[in-house]
Structure 1
Amino acid sequence: MIAKAAGPEKGTPWLTGVMIFVFVMTPLLGYLAQLGFAPLMALAGLLVLPVMARPRAPAAPTLILLLLAIWAAASMTWSPAAPPAGSLKDYGDVEKVTAVKLFLQLALYGAAAAAALRLSVRGADRVATVMGFGVLALAVFVGFDALTGAAMFQKLRVLSGDPIRPDLAKVKISIGCYVMAVMFWPAAAALAQRGKQAAVVLLLAGVLTASVLASADSCLVALAAGGVVWLLVKGLGKAGGRLLTLAIAIPFMVAPIAVLWAIQTGFWGWLHGLVPASWDARLNIWAFAADHIQDHPFRGWGLDASRTFGDAIPLHTHNAQLQLWLELGAVGAALAGAFFCWLAHGVTRAAETDRGGAAMSGAALTSYLVIGALSFGVWQEWWIAVGALAVVACAAVRLSSGEYSDELVEISPND
């Protein structure tokens, strides 16, 4: 396949402006208000819709996500978390329902991701530059604040009239580490493309410092796993991409079985004696979830059912694969797994013409999945938005390098 050197020019000045705005906001939200990524990406999707081309038949990943959203909505008919009849009285009530938000996110975040693929080379270069230096600024600022015990964050909260305890301030700035762990890969690639190797080193130092001092352990794991995938794809090309696809598929297929096997063999008990308290709590949650998956292995307990088990599962399972199995059963886990394997397969195909870009995309995907497997709930809007943000960032970097091909990620019916 011949690589395309440029995206289409029509409408790209507006698209470029929207994407630059998104990445100007990224360091601000990454430090002060991570939940704001959800409305930011939704706004970006709304802003690009007027200049998008006529919709065509949905692409494969769009259909997969649409089927997942439909299955999730259908599961509300048996979910213990379903809102009581008559409780949805206005739009505000309806908009809070997870099933409804999934369709909105698919449309708006998907539009933003598709818009990134339409950037011209010049526009993509500008977007990638702003993105790279924006993430660098976030890493330096959060890293420095972590060194001071989140003193700057505390001062800002005092100035806003909402003071915060030092321990909670440390927790708040640690959330930005998760954004940086995913965005590190496209940001590092963008800076390296521009000959800013020293900036890449500073970026890495900031991310590592913040993650260590803020006790964001899963970020360190995500960065390490992303680094391994980067080396595999960069060094082995398509073979590395195939290994990534396999590594992604296995947890979606066997997560509950693996946990139950580990419990039965005593391996789980051995782990309990090794890990610190936060990870010990995760082991308890995962064991409980795996046990209850056996009650409804095909259909699951229903969307948001994780929130109904009391102290046994605080809000969610802290593991994407187990949460999907628990709530949406084998059907939901298979659909989500198919989507992420499709992304990994795209990395494999992209490695034919652009190993560097493929390695970057594979590492970002890996970091995102590792954090999702250890820290956040599947349906958290801001975390889904960060995934869309990473897609936009990777698209901009690859387009700006002139190595873009139509194997790049596309998750919207717009073209």
Structure 2
Amino acid sequence: MARITGAVRVLDPVKAIGSVAFLAPLLTVYIPLSMAIVLPVGAVLLLTCRRINGLSPFRFDWPVVVVLTGFLIVAALSVLWSHSPALSLDKLSRTTMAMIAGLVFITALKGLDGEVANRVSSCFLAGMGIALVLIIAERLAGGLMLRIEADKTQNMFINQFNRPLAILSILIWPAVVILAQQRRVWGIGAIALFVCILLAFSSGAAAAAIGAGAVVFTAVYIFPRMGAIVVGIGLAAGILLAPAIDSQMPAPKQIFESIDLPRSAYHRLLIWEFATARIDERPILGWGLNTSRAIPGGQKNLDVSEKALPLHPHNAALQWRLELGILGSLFGAALFLVSTEMARRYAAGRVARAGAVAAIVSTSAIAMLSFGAWQTWWVSSIFLIAGFTILVCRRRSPG
């Protein structure tokens, strides 16, 4: 009996889950790749807390389960025709484990009652606040903590925060919801502070994410029902039409020369053009999971130093279609459509609904501009973001 009592005391839901909610934003600042560890640890803690403390029944949201399972089935089948089966198998196992941990994490967080959920949300908000303070301090000090690790140039310091700013540009939305539900001006102030932080860095993806999120937050707040529906349909259509949209754009060189595009953005356009051409070679089944880095011609320079496809297309919609074919695009579109519909149905009021949909749109912006679709730390980050957004925005029973 004493051992059981001790276990309950140690694994108090607020302490255990609150620690994950508090630490996740902080770890994002300095060790964003650690999200691949934070997610399974959080999932195990949540499961253990539920078992010991007898929390509410464990109920999956089956539309999400069906979409993610479909994704994994298509990914597994793609090994049969993969251009590089070894690369596909290696990524399949890690992606499967991340998705299972992610489903457990978001489902368990969804089941927290009112009092526990409120206190864990406060832990998350505290972590976000300190994370923003740390980034401001690092910028003012020129990367003091980073320089302790190694001698880094200014450009390396700025680039070091691309991942953290990308994640925080999404996590800011559940924080805004918490603050705006207290006083609207606090939510506006949080966004204004984050925009000021972005101005001191050069993360175009984070800027696009926060800009798109702000527009959508406003639209869904004004039109709570139709706004979320339109956003969901728009995101799904964009994913399905991504190859066609890219093929209709002017040549990257023309855009680069006509509007003085940054070299990095020009490289993105070259990569997307190359990926679209390779999609046309295998339009139905794709090249196989995680084969972007092995696509023929991918290591060829298309310009001075711009490789055709260094690692991945830096665009989830194109990567899904390139690697998994039509079914990859369909399940990707379904994922965003289901997510926005669940935000519309289950959010706790206008502010929560607007914040949840804004987080989805900001996630889409980062996914379409930055990271590889199957990078384990990024997949884990998405599930953590989804969990915290559900925790803050979903209707729940009073505790």
Give the CA deviation at 1:149.
2.7
Aligned mates of 2:370, 2:70 — CA distance in 1: 25
Give the CA deviation at 1:201.
5.4
- 2:109 alignment partner, one of 87, 107, 116: 116
Give the total of aligned pairs.
372
Equivalence for 1:180: 168
Equivalence for 1:390: 385
- 2:35 alignment partner, one of 22, 34, 37: 37
Equivalence for 1:358: 353
User: Residue 298 of structure 1 aligns to which amino acid in structure 2?
Assistant: I
Give the CA deviation at 1:267.
6.2
TM score, norm. by length of structure 2? 0.86
Deviations 1:211-239 (A, max 9, x none): 23220011111111101111111101111
| Residue 241 (structure 1) aligned with residue 228 (structure 2) | yes
Aligned mates of 2:239, 2:357 — CA distance in 1: 17
Deviations 1:252-303 (A, max 9, x none): 11100111122xxx36554222221010000000000001100111110111
Equivalence for 2:70: 67
User: Contact 1:239/1:348 (CA < 8 Å) preserved in 2?
Assistant: no
User: Contact 1:256/1:322 (CA < 8 Å) preserved in 2?
Assistant: yes
| Residue 137 (structure 1) aligned with residue 124 (structure 2) | no
- 1:287 alignment partner, one of 257, 263, 273: 273
Structure (1/2) with the larger helix percentage = 2
Equivalence for 1:337: 333
Give 1:256-275 correspondences, 5 Å limit.
Answer: 256-262=243-249, 266=250, 268-273=252-257, 274=259, 275=261
User: Residues 209 and 150 of structure 1: is their aligned pair in 2 closer, same or farther, counting only changes over 3 Å?
Assistant: farther
Equivalence for 2:368: 373
User: Contact 1:150/1:173 (CA < 8 Å) preserved in 2?
Assistant: no
Aligned mates of 2:326, 2:12 — CA distance in 1: 42
User: Residues 239 and 356 of structure 1: is their aligned pair in 2 closer, same or farther, counting only changes over 3 Å?
Assistant: same
Which deviates more from structure 2 when the two are superposed, residues 206-215 or residues 332-341? Answer: 206-215
Task: Specify the SS of the correspondent of 1:294.
Answer: helix
Deviations 1:119-160 (A, max 9, x none): 1111111111111121121112212322333234223x2xxx
Aligned mates of 2:142, 2:196 — CA distance in 1: 12
Aligned mates of 1:212, 1:178 — CA distance in 2: 14
Aligned mates of 1:238, 1:58 — CA distance in 2: 20
User: Contact 1:146/1:213 (CA < 8 Å) preserved in 2?
Assistant: yes
User: Residues 334 and 84 of structure 1: is their aligned pair in 2 closer, same or farther, counting only changes over 3 Å?
Assistant: closer
| Residue 126 (structure 1) aligned with residue 119 (structure 2) | yes
Equivalence for 1:3: none
Give 1:149-160 correspondences, 5 Å limit.
Answer: 149-155=142-148, 157=149
Task: Specify the SS of the correspondent of 2:373.
Answer: coil
Equivalence for 1:303: 289
Task: Specify the SS of the correspondent of 2:14.
Answer: helix
Any stretches of 5+ residues in structure 2 without a counterpart?
1-7, 300-306
Give 1:90-105 correspondences, 5 Å limit.
Answer: 97-105=90-98
Any stretches of 5+ residues in structure 1 without a counterpart?
1-9, 86-93, 406-415
Equivalence for 1:213: 200
Deviations 1:92-131 (A, max 9, x none): xx8xx11011211121111011111111111111111111
- 2:312 alignment partner, one of 303, 312, 316: 316
User: Contact 2:22/2:126 (CA < 8 Å) preserved in 1?
Assistant: no
Task: Specify the SS of the correspondent of 1:83.
Answer: helix
Give the CA deviation at 1:195.
4.3
Aligned mates of 2:82, 2:193 — CA distance in 1: 43
Give the CA deviation at 1:63.
1.4
Aligned mates of 2:391, 2:343 — CA distance in 1: 15
Identical-residue share of aligned pairs (%): 26
Aligned mates of 1:186, 1:57 — CA distance in 2: 21
Which deviates more from structure 2 when the two are superposed, residues 266-275 or residues 69-78? Answer: 266-275
User: Contact 1:149/1:166 (CA < 8 Å) preserved in 2?
Assistant: yes
User: Contact 1:219/1:371 (CA < 8 Å) preserved in 2?
Assistant: yes
Which has the bigger relative contact order, CA under 8 A and spacing at least 6?
Answer: 1
User: Residue 168 of structure 2 aligns to which amino acid in structure 1?
Assistant: M
User: Contact 2:114/2:396 (CA < 8 Å) preserved in 1?
Assistant: no
Task: Specify the SS of the correspondent of 2:86.
Answer: coil
Equivalence for 1:277: 263
User: Contact 1:113/1:388 (CA < 8 Å) preserved in 2?
Assistant: yes
Give the CA deviation at 1:313.
0.7
Aligned mates of 2:61, 2:232 — CA distance in 1: 23
Deviations 1:54-106 (A, max 9, x none): 77787121111111112112212222332289xxxxxxxx8xx1101121112
Give the CA deviation at 1:358.
0.8
Aligned mates of 1:84, 1:107 — CA distance in 2: 20
TM score, norm. by length of structure 1? 0.83
